[in-house]
A and B are shown apart, each in its own frame.
Chain A
Amino acid sequence: MNEGTAPKGPIDRLLAANTWLVYLFFYAPIILLIVFSFNDNRNVGIWTEPSLRWYGEMFQDTRVMGALRNSLVVAFISTIVSTIVGTMLAIALERYRFRGRGALDGIAYLPIIIPDVTMAVMLLIFFFQAFGILEELTGTRLTTGLGTITLAHIAFNISFVAVVVRARLSQLDSSLEEAAADLYASRWQAFRRVTLPLIAPGVAGGALLALTLSLDDVVVTQFVSGAGATTLPVYVFGLVRRGVTPLINAVSTVMLLASMILVGLSLGLQRTRPRGGEESSAAVIGSSIPSDAKSG
Chain B
Amino acid sequence: MPGSINSPMNIFDVAGRAMAAQLTRLNTTASNMANARSVASSEADAFRALKPVFRTHASSPDMATVDVERIVQSDTQPKKRHDPANPMANADGYVWEAGVDEPTEMIEMIETARQYQNNVQVLQTAKSLILETIRMGE
User: Do A and B share a complex?
Assistant: no
Q: Which residues on B are within 8 Å of A, measured CB to CB?
A: none
